[in-house]
Amino acid sequence: MEISEQLTCLFAAKIEEQGQSYVVEVPKQEVDIGYVDPTEDYQVAVLKQPGETTQPAPTQNRDDSSQQPDLDQPPVSTGETRVVEITELGDQGDGLTRVERGFVVIVPKTGVGDRVRIRIETVHETVAFGEVVERFRY
């Protein structure tokens, strides 16, 4: 999965039914922090939570394999910074977040619900480790 450089915020939310529509609530802190301006229009990507099953998407026959991301490589690299939300705790009590393809990033000294900017310090084949460089208040 390719993530646009234009990504302004990332958060987890439930989709709720309201009448004949479904609504995704944008957390107030996204506006308070300045990531979302309620007077602007935005594109929204909807991703399944890791571990959920889904029907496979229809495939398109394309010979342009250069457009496909290298799925054998971790989706993060050392030194990269990201704003993430900690969604679970690991066995050792460290915060965990998941990025593209459900790839796990372990972030010590964080808890569930923390929204932080991290710098990727170490990348392994199946997991990366990040260090908090900024904390955001809700």
Say if 5 falls within a structural domain: no
Amino acid at 76: V
Q: Which structural domain range is residue 112 located in?
A: 75-136
Question: Cα(23)–Cα(25) distance, rounded to whole angstroms?
Answer: 6
Say if 102 falls within a structural domain: yes
Residue-wise pLDDT tens digits, 15-59: 888 887 888 888 887 788 777 888 887 777 777 665 554 444 444
Say if 31 falls within a structural domain: no
Say if 122 falls within a structural domain: yes
Pairing of the two strands 95-98 and 81-85: unpaired
Say if 131 falls within a structural domain: yes
Higher pLDDT residue, 19 or 124?
A: 124
Burial level of 128, CB count in 10 A (0-12/13-18/19+)? buried
Residue-wise pLDDT tens digits, 73-106: 899 999 999 999 999 999 999 999 998 888 999 9
Confidence of residue 3 (pLDDT cuts 50, 70, 90): low
Global pTM value: 0.55
Q: Which residues pair with 81 in a beta bridge?
A: 119
Q: How many domains does the chain have?
A: 1
Say if 17 falls within a structural domain: no
Question: Cα(15)–Cα(104) distance, rounded to whole angstroms?
Answer: 23
Say if 115 falls within a structural domain: yes
The answer to whether 10 touches 85, Cβ cutoff 8 Å, is yes
* Structure token pair of residue 27: 């957390």
Give me the CATH number covering residue 87.
Answer: 2.40.50.140
